[in-house]
Structure 1
Amino acid sequence: MAINTERLSSILRARERRLNIPHYLRLDGSRYLLALVLFLSLMSLVVLLQTGAVATQGYAISDLQAEKTVLMRERAQLQVREARAQSLTLIRQRAEQIGLRPLQPEQLRYLQISSDGR
């Protein structure tokens, strides 16, 4: 009966690699430096993302302020138009244009209403 030594040796090599895992996980100077560079890169990325978000919000605020200015001007113009439309002289002129005329005293009629409900 023959023993497959190749299979046995591959199992032994796997065992040796598994036993050497702590060696790979040990941090020496270069690995500390690599970890530091990775950490600083991630922190820089976070700062850049936050800066981008703040800049985007700044542009949005600027656009909203410009829109607010336009709307306030439009509101002021509408208030001026409303004040002109409520002018009594303008109302009188419009009434005369459509054929209305002021009420004359002889056109007034008074109605007496009794207080007893009859």
Structure 2
Amino acid sequence: MPQLGCRDSIGFLWLNCGLSDEGTPQGKCYVDHIAVDARFRGRGIGKVLLEMAEIDAKRRGCRAIYLWVATSNRAQHLYERQGYRKMEQYSLCGLLWCQTGEKEFARMEKILM
């Protein structure tokens, strides 16, 4: 198992809540980025990050949380297990996406209780 130094990180989450007219729909939170270091995948870290995002979203008064995921990304299964449902799918070709080979994306959303 890899050793964690005092500066290592194993995952991060970037959440944007739609509390005003800032691009994210009112009453929803958008998971802008979520990542887990490859050395630590499959250990529940992604699940914990999503749970923390949901707690924060609820605290801020959001009724739903959503994210975009490449359809080839295996994390899509994690999101489904956590209660996210595929709402729509798009073929996109932005600068970064086409350079990385990712073109198919799904918007997944979860209603918060």
TM-score by length of 2: 0.19
TM-score by length of 1: 0.18
- Which of the pair is proportionally richer in strand? 2
Larger relative contact order, structure 1 or 2 (CA cutoff 8 Å, min sep 6): 2
Bigger CA radius of gyration: 1
